[in-house]
Each structure stands twice: as C-alpha cells, then as structure tokens.
Structure 1
Amino acid sequence: MDVPTSGDAPEPQVEPTIEEAAQRETRTGGSTGAVARAGVFMVFAAATSRMLGMVREMVLSHQFGQGRWADIYNAAFMVPDLLFMMLSSGALASVFVPIFTSYLEKGDRERAWYFFSNATTLIGLGISALIVLMEIFVVPLTAVANWGFPRDKVLEVAALTRIVLPAQLCFFIGSILISVQYAHKKFTVPAMASIVYNLTITAFGLVLGNPITGLGPAGFSWGALTGAVLGNLVLQMWGVKRLGGHYRPIFNWRDPDVKKFVLLMVPIVFTISLPQVDMEINKFFSTFLPGDGGMASLNYANRLMQMPLGILAQASAIVVFPYFATQAARGDMDALKRSINRSIRAIVTMTVPASVLMIVLAEPIVRVVYQRGRFVPADTMITAKVLIFYCIGIAAWSAQGLLARGFYALQDTARPMITGSVVTVVFIGLNALLIRIMQANGLALSTSLAAILLAVALFFQLQKRVGGMNGSQIVFSFLKVGLAAGVMAGPVYGVRRLITQFFDPVSQSTTALSTMEGLILVFAGALVGGLVYAGMLTLLRVEEMGMVQRQVTARLRRA
C-alpha cells in the first residue's frame, strides 16, 4: 500500500457529481444514482430494524435485568449459531449472488432459476437433517457450547435451544430467497425480514414472556421462531414470486453449478461469519466469568455497538455487493477498484465519528436504553465499560465487510479464508489472555483488536489481488477523519459534563439521570459532535464531505 510520506500528501481527487458518475457507471455495473437510492433505503430500513432490535433488548433487560435469566436466553442461541457458523447463511448469499448474476447477465433466466431450485432443495434437505440431529443431541451440545455453566443452567438453556433451532432452516432458505432479490437489485422486501423478526420477538416477549404467563425467556424464544418463519421465509417467498421466480423440487447434486457453489461456500464460511464467530467465542469465554450476568453484559453492549455497524456499514455492504459482482462479472477491474475505494472511504468517514461518540457517551447511552425494571445502575456501569471496548473496532468491522465482499465478487474465497482463520486463532488467544486481566472488558477488547487485524490483512490481500486500489488516498482520508473525530471528542465530553451537572449537581452521575434527561444528554452530545465533525471535515477538505454536499445539491435541484 502506498503511504504518503511526511509533507507529501497526495493531491485530492475531485469526486464526480451524481450526473457525471452515472454516465460513467452505467457502463460499469450500474448507476451511481441507483446505488445511492438503494443505499439510502437500506440505511433507513437497517435503522428501523436496529431500533426495533433495541426495543426488543429493552424489553428483555426490563424483565430479566443482567442476571441468570438473561444469560440463559442469550445462551440458548449458542447451538443454533454453531449451525450458522458451520454453514453460514451469509456465505450462501455471498456465493449465490455471483453465480446467479452471471446467468442473468447472459440472459439465461431459465438456467438461473434451475440453479435456484436445485440449490434450495439440496440446502433445505441438508439443513433439516442437521437440525434433527442437533435436536436429538441438544443437551450435550449445549453443555459443550456453555462449558462454564453448571448442570442446572445447561438444562434450562437446552430447553430454549430446542425451540429456536428450527428457525435456522428459515434463515438458510430465506438467505437464498433474499439473494435472488439482491441479484435483481431489489432491496425492499429483503429489508423487511429483520424488521418482522424483531417485531415478532418483542410482541411475543411482551405477551408471553411477562411474569403473568410464567413462560419467562421461553416467550421470547417462541417469538424468535415465529419471526423467522414470517420474516425470513413466508415474506421472502412472496418477494421472489413477484420477480417471476419459480421453484421446482430439483435434486441434482452432480450439477456443475452446485459443485462450484459448495467449493466456494466451504472456505467462505470462515470469513463471512467472523463477527458472529467472535461473539460466540466471547460468549463461550464469558461462561467462566464469576457469578451471573457476564454473558448478558456482553450481549447488551454488543447490541448497542451493532447499531452504527448495521445502519451505516452492513446496509451499505449489502447494497454495493451486487454492483461489485456485476463489475467483476464484466471483467471491469478499474470500475471495481473505484467502487471498493470509494466505499471504504465513505464507510470510514461515517463510522469513525460514530465510534468516538459512542465511546464518550457510553454510560448515558446504556442508561437511556437499558436502565429500567430489573436493570439497575450497577448494571449500567458494567455494560458501559464493555461497550467502550467494543466500539474501538466499529470502523474496522465496517471496512472488513466491504473488503470481504470484494473477494466474493471475484469468486475468490481462498485468500480471505486463510486470513480469517489465522485471525480467529489469534482472537481465541486474545480472549484467553485478556479475560484474566480485564474480565468482560478484555473479551470486548479482543473483538476490536481482531477486527482491526482482519481489516488490515484483508486490505493488503485484496489490493494484491486486484492490482492496487489507490491505498494512499484511503490512508490519507482515514488520517483526516481520525483527526476530525478526535477534535470532536472534546466538545462532546464537555456537553456530557455540563448537562450531567445541571440535572444532578449532587452525585453528578449519568446513572442517576431520568430517561428523559439522559435522552437530552445523548442528543445534545450527538448534535454538538456532528456539527464539530462536519466543520472539521470542511476545514480539512475531506473529499467525502464535498461528495455528499454535491449529491444533496444535485438532488435538490432535480426536485
């Protein structure tokens, strides 16, 4: 990677307006305007889903706090997530889209739907068989996945695991159905999957998981199963049908496309699911933490960290991937390199300030979201510290998702497989080391360090694969963004101190604030931080700021 030497910064390159870029990108994998529109919608949908997910967690924390039942509910997903990691539904999507898209590009829709039907049948039968086996051996599997839990706790976890295991079939089949829609550049119905899922869990948790019914966390578990059926299966079947898709029960495991699909999917499992692997490894080690609530604190903090990651990064990665795949299928490496470069710079520009804001405002954020019912101020302080260490890796997690999809668009899974496997081994070692020094905080820090290592390694690998991505431009942009976010941190911390002292002059503790007072603090801090950050980007002439301004101006003129 070309790193600028001191005093020799690269000349800034002016990004094209929407109109200019659209004329160029129409020939290289899609309209920039189409990408932008899809991106805006996916960000909105992801934000809605994440907010509903937070409502779900708020209901969970209110009813179970950060204790035994919260641990049991979170642990119930360990075995199902093991299946997810073994045959990642994310891997299915990343491999399916390029193969399916290649037939659409050739105009061979009949062959595309044949591949869809064959893959769906084979995967459905395979996953169903695995689920039956895991249901039979659910107790020993649960004991291994939650090694540090006592026997009585393992049995309670296993009872909930039996409920949520079948949901994995919906996720895997739904992943293929969603991939078909992505290949057609359709994002609306797929975006509704997680919204329906979170709504259903929350509704079931409120109705069946309250103390009156006596079901406890089982109410949330039944909600998870029902939400998966409705959002990931039934709704997505309707979405594919709208495209004219048709399914036939084809069982042809000798088909060359299926063989290619399997060969590509096996190595990709070790990389596309790495964030999920990291969380499950965190959970495994958390079973050795003293007392109850260790796993719950990690889960609550991780859910908050996932907010900006899901809204800003994952939504963008989902949108750009079909365009990456189209550019790669056409063999237009220049367009692909431009797209990856631009996407990384945009993601870094958005996620670095989000990371800094969440670090400075960690305690008031946790107070506003979780502190009610059985979730007490002491739980807030514990979770806030864990959140700080998780947030260090937000930008890195965002970048690695884009970089990984660059490989998948090229149908190259061997390189990220090796990189992801090595990082996972390092991550396990970090967990074993840092849990002894920092307990739950050490597990969160291990996750961030692994994310940074993975992002850097993938960048060098992808740059070598495509022949350079103007790395100096990315590094220089990152340095500017980091400086702007660092300057922003001071005023945000000042706002936190002033508002806390105003509302609570005695203890001056954010955990003593009311929910409304905490909301005022968080919004005021975010507003001041956003203004300072925007000002710094303008002052430093960060290209991404100018690109956003030009795109907004162009849209206003057309309106």
Structure 2
Amino acid sequence: MRSTAITTRASSTETTRGISVSDHPLGWMPKTTSRRLRPACRSVASMSASGMREAVAGRTDELRHMATDSRVAAGGLILSRITGFVRVSATAAVLGPTYFGNLFQVSAVLPNAFYGMLIGALILALLVPPLVGRLQTEGVGSARRFANASLGLIIAILMAVAVLALALAPFVLGMLAPADMGRQLVALGLPLLLMLMPQVVLYIVAGVGAAVQQAHGRFALSSAASAAENIGVVAVMASCATLFGTGTEIDAVTMPQLVLLGVGTTASVALHAGLQWWGAHRLGVSLWPSFAWGDPDVRRMLRQSLSSIGYTSLYWAEFLLLLAVSATIPGGVAAFLIAHSVCQLPIQLTAKPLSSAQLPRLAECFHKHMPAEFWTIYDGGLRLALFVVLPASMVLAAIPETLAHAMAFGEMATPDGVALIGCCIGGMALGTAGEMVLIVATSASYARRDTRTPAYAMTLRLVVIVLAAAIAQFALLGTKRLWMAGAAMAAANLVAGAYLHWQLRRTLPAGNATLRRGLALDLGFSVAAALSAVGLATWLEGMPGTILEHMLVAAAALAASLVTYVLPQLARGSQELLILVPALHRVGQGPY
C-alpha cells in the first residue's frame, strides 16, 4: 500500500525524559481524556531536541509523497469541480431567477444534505482509519466484511430517518416562496422529492466505495467519479431546455418536465455510485450490504458516527439556513450556489485532496503511537494548503464583480443576476482560508478518533451563522441580504477553523512548527496578487463586451495574480512551491 507506507522513526516510540509514548494504549491522549493522564501528554510534548530533529528529518520526503497523492486526488477533483460548476451554471441558466428554480435547486440539494447531516461529510474520516488498520493486520477479506457491515448499518439508519424527512418536507418547501405560492410549491415539491430521495442510498454506496479506495491509497477515481454525475445533470438540463424551454415559473411547470428533472438527476447520481462501486470491486471489496453488526470495529464506528452526527447535522443545517435566506430573493439560491462553487474551488484543489492523502498516514501514525510524526504530517499539510488558499481567497474577494460577469449564463446574465452573484462571492471569499483549516483539522481529529472537538467547532460556526442570518433576514434587503449570507459563512468558517486548530495544537507535541515560517511573506505576496488582479480587471473592464470577453478578462486577471504570487515565491525558493510543483525544483531553490 504505497500511500500509507510511513517511515517509522525510532525517536517517536522510544523513552523521552523517562516516559514512553507507547506506555498508554492511545500513544498520546486527546483533549477528552482524563485530566490526570495529561501530564504524560505534556512530557511527550517536551521531547529531546535530538528526537525532534530525527522526527523532522523525514518531513520533506513525507510531504513530497503526500503531495504526489494530493496531486492525483486534485486532478480528479479539478474535473469534478469544473463539471460541478458547469452543472450549477447550466441549472441556473435553464431554470433562471425564478421561484421554481429555487424549488428545484433546494430539492436537489436536500438528498445530499440529508445524507450529509447524518454521516456523509465524515464518512471517509470514519471508515478509512479502521479500513487501514484491517488491511495492515488482517487483509482484504476483513476489510470487505467491515465495509459491507458498515454499508448495511448506514443504509438502515438513513432509511429509517428518511420517513421523518419526508414528513417535514411540506414545512421546508413552504419557506421557499411567498405565502400565496406556498400550495403550488408543495404540490410540485413533494413528487419531486419522492423522485430524488433514492439518491440517499446511492450516495452511501458512493461514500463507502470512495473510503475503500482511499484506504488502499487509490485517489484518482474516488475523487473524479462525481464528474459523471455532474455531466449527467448537465445533459438533463439541456434536454429540459430543448423540450420545455427556459425560465419556467411555478404555474407553468408540467408533470413531464418535473419527471425529466427528478428521474434524470437521480439516474446521474446512480452513475456516480456505480463508478465508486466498481472502484472498490477492482480492489477485491465488492460492496453488498450485510448485517454483521456485532463486529467491534462496526460498533466503534457506530458510536463515532453518533458523535459525528452533531458535526454533520450542524454543517448542513447551517448551509440550508443560508439557502433559506437566499431563497427569499428570486434567483438568490442560484447566485448563492454559483458563488459557493467558485469559493470552494481552491478548497477542493488543496484542502480536500490533502486531507484525503494525509488521513491514512495520520491514522497509521495514531495506530503506531507516533505523535511527533502525526504533528509534522498535519502541520506540513496545513502549510501546503494555506500556501494555495490564502492568495486565492484574497483574489476572489478583490474581483467579485469581474468573476460574476464571467459566470452569469443564460437567464442569470442580467444586471440583477450579475449583482446577486458578485455580492455573494464578495461576502464569502475571505472565509475560504478558514474553511480550509477546518477541513484539514477535522480530518486530523478523526484520525485520532476524536469526534467531540470538531462538533464543538461546528457549534461555534452555528452561533455565528444564526446571528448573521437573523441580521440578513430582518434588517437587510436585496443584494445586501445576499452579501450578509456569504459573509456569515466566511466569518463562521474563520472562527471554527481557528478554534479547531488551536485545540489540536494544545494536545499534540509541537514538533517542528512550520506553519508560522514564511506565512507573513505569503500574506504580503497574496495582497500583491490581489492588487494586480484588481488593476488589470479595472483597466480591461472599461470596455463593455460579450460573455466570452468577460471570461477572458477574468482569466487575464487571475493569470496576473498567479504570476505576481508565484514569481517571488520561486525567487526565494519556497519549499511549499517546490513540493507542490516538483518541476520547478530545477529552476531555482533558495533558503526556506
């Protein structure tokens, strides 16, 4: 198993200052352990200087291997995110800034949100560590039994709760339009939801299949498979536009159009799940639900999943709350989802692949009681992600209108549609770095089997979002309301990410803290990149143009910011740049 082969350094398990890391069965204690055991943890944190040097000696090589896996995962995620953006844009272009567009977009999100509320967002974090342990100690057969038992258990739980979700559907749907349209909305929304809800089971199969592949160190297909779903939905939207036209409002929607949208979208999710199933099958793990729930690892996973429900439920409840605020404005949901897709791009290209690549490694470090290596892998991965996300968030915040002009297609390509998208991007962008830290730190926490601290972080996130959403709903109108919805997500991500990283920093041996090194320079170069993007975009946008010309202006501004950021980093020999782009290693290398 190539990607999880971590070099064991003796210094991490030998006695330091009279206390061995492996004296305790957990190797080191998370925050939730007994207070009287924490002195041992503090002693581990004060390892000898020679031990720390040995632990750090292999950091660069390990980060290079992790970056290689991350690039493979990022390649798949690039395809998924590009097709995902095309999917959101195509849906907005066909359905337009209408209340039916709001209805379909929210209904299409609900199955994924329902799955995500219970386990989806953390299914990899819950399944990969035990799968790694079984593959190392007992082989593929044991991993297959665990995966199938987990699949059966998750399906049983989610199907039992699905009845409650459908019962609450009329209340949720009634919030998406003014009172005089409420009955029409429910009349269309209930049959649409019945066609979409089977996606919950399909997402479970896809999630377990991806976990099996990543536990084996395979990241390409598990990251790229969702692109098939996105392409399928785009094809459904093209068919809908051809057969029924665009911009249809609630009172003009026919049942054939509703069936095409509902059944076609579910079939696209089935294609995604089929690819993930095949990816696990080719590794010897054919996924068929079983009911062997007496397995100790399955019980442990169930206990952890019950703890993680708080995290996932809060995350999706917050997202749906912001969607509800956006739905009070025609086209608001489409604008919010487009902006969210744009701001998620740097996260999907860095935090998601890095957290996927580091999760098996961190799980192995925890399994082998190697806290110093755990810290260096986590800290190095976070530093690599910040290197990319920090400038990206500043550039997105600097040119929201330029990006909005380039991404407003079809029915959204109006001054109002552009304004809605731009204000959402402007409010949401600066929180991108916070969400990146939250994702990477959550993955590290789950590798340590700590499910409580991420839930506390998500509770903080909820408090911030509820306060900001209340201000947006009752004190603001129009584009200001949408800007506040985006800003609420940004502020919440920054608070939650900082809290969770601080908690990890407190409970792990510090190792060679690389996070602060070079961060001030990265911040300065990020500001310069944002200024160059603003300057070029302002100069070029003085001339009104077509959608293609707007796209070229946005591409030129982004390219200028990239050059402004990368060239100084290359000149100073940034280690992160050379790790992320090995081809530059021969061009120049300076002091870190």
Measure, in 1, the Cα distance between the counterparts of 2:291 and 2:261. 36
Mapped to 1, the partners of 2:146 and 2:282 lie a distance apart of: 18
**Aligned residue identity for 1:416:** P
Which residue number corresponds to residue 19 of structure 2? none
The reply to whether residue 448 of structure 1 matches residue 486 of structure 2 is no
Any gaps of 5 or more consecutive residues in structure 1? 1-19, 505-511
Note if 1:353 corresponds to 2:395: no
Residues 336 and 201 (structure 1), Cα distance of their counterparts in 2 relative to 1, 3 Å cut: same
Q: 1:52 to 1:248 in 2, by over 3 A?
A: closer
Alpha-carbon shift at residue 539 of structure 1 (Å): 5.9
Match of 2:87 among 46, 56, 68: 56
Please tell me the residue identity of whatever aligns with 2:486: A
Matches within 5 A, 1:87-236: 87-132=118-163, 134-135=165-166, 138-140=169-171, 142-143=173-174, 150-212=182-244, 215-216=256-257, 219-232=260-273, 234-236=274-276
Partner AA of 1:207 in structure 2: S
Supply the AA of the counterpart residue of 1:455.
Answer: G
Superposed displacement of residue 274, structure 1: 5.6
| RMSD, aligned CA | 2.9
Aligned residues of 1:208 and 1:216 also touching (Cα < 8 A):
yes
> Aligned residue pairs: how many?
521
Matched, 1:257 2:297: yes
Q: Give a deviation string over 1:377-422, Cα, whole Å, max 9, x none.
A: 2210221011111111111111110011110111111222222223
TM-score, normalization by structure 1: 0.85
Using a 3 Å threshold, how does the CA distance of structure 1 residues 442 and 132 change in structure 2: closer, same or farther? same
Q: Quick check: 1:244 aligned with 2:284?
A: yes
| Residue 271 (structure 1) aligned with residue 311 (structure 2) | yes
Verify the 8 A CA contact 1:308 1:354 in the aligned structure 2. Answer: yes
8 Å Cα contact 2:112-2:199 kept in structure 1: no
Distance, in Å, in 2 between the alignment partners of 1:527 and 1:82 is: 35
Match of 2:529 in 1: 488
> What displacement does 1:143 show?
3.7
Question: For 1:54 and 1:182, how far apart are their aligned partners in 2?
Answer: 25
Offset, 1:285: 2.7
CA 1:277–1:315: 2 relative to 1, 3 Å: farther
Q: Is the 8 A contact 1:317 1:401 kept in 2?
A: yes
Rounded Cα–Cα distance in structure 1 between residues aligned with 2:324 and 2:110: 11
Q: Is the 8 A contact 1:201 1:221 kept in 2?
A: no
Inter-CA distance 341–137: structure 2 relative to 1 (3 Å threshold): closer
Q: Distance in 1 between matches of 2:259 and 2:342?
A: 23
Task: Work out whether 1:38 is the aligned partner of 2:80.
Answer: no
Please tell me the residue identity of whatever aligns with 1:489. Answer: A
Does the 8 Å CA contact 1:423/1:453 hold for their aligned counterparts? yes
1:479 aligns with 2:510: no
How do residues 387-402 of structure 1 correspond to structure 2 at under 5 angstroms?
387-402=425-440
SS at match of 2:349: helix
Q: 1:130 to 1:174 in 2, by over 3 A?
A: same
Q: Following the alignment from structure 2 to structure 1, what is the Cα–Cα distance between the partners of residues 178 and 310?
A: 22
8 Å contact kept, 2:76–2:221: no
Partner of 2:334: 296
Q: Could you report, residue by residue, the CA deviation over 1:404-442 in whole angstroms, capped at 9, with x for unpaired residues?
A: 111011111122222222331332122112442441111
Q: Show the counterpart of 2:248.
A: none
What CA distance in whole angstroms lies between the structure 2 residues aligned with 1:21 and 1:521? Answer: 47
How many angstroms apart in 2 are the aligned matches of 1:217 and 1:351? 39
1:31 deviates by: 5.4
The equivalent residue for 1:380 is 418
Secondary structure of residue in 2 paired with 1:77: helix
CA distance in 2, matches of 1:147, 1:534: 49
Residue in structure 1 matched with residue 500 of structure 2 by the alignment? 458
Residue identity matched to 2:552:
I
1:65-104 equivalence runs, <5 A: 65-77=96-108, 79-104=110-135
1:243–1:547 Cα change, 3 Å: closer
Q: Which moved more, 1:490-499 or 1:357-366?
A: 357-366
The answer to whether the Cα contact below 8 Å between 1:209 and 1:220 also exists between their aligned partners in 2 is no
- Please give the secondary structure, in 1, of the residue aligned with 2:225: helix
* Structure 1 residue 359: Cα displacement: 2.2
Q: CA deviation at 1:198?
A: 0.3
Partners of 2:288 and 2:90 in 1: CA distance: 42
Equivalent residue letter for 1:282 = L
Identity %: 17
Question: 2-side partners of 1:224 and 1:477: how far apart?
Answer: 46
Q: Does 1:305 align with 2:337?
A: no
One-letter code of the match for 2:408? Y
Letter of the 1:257 counterpart: D
Structure 1 pair 37–543 and aligned structure 2 pair: CA distance change class (3 A): closer
Partner SS state of residue 541, structure 2: helix
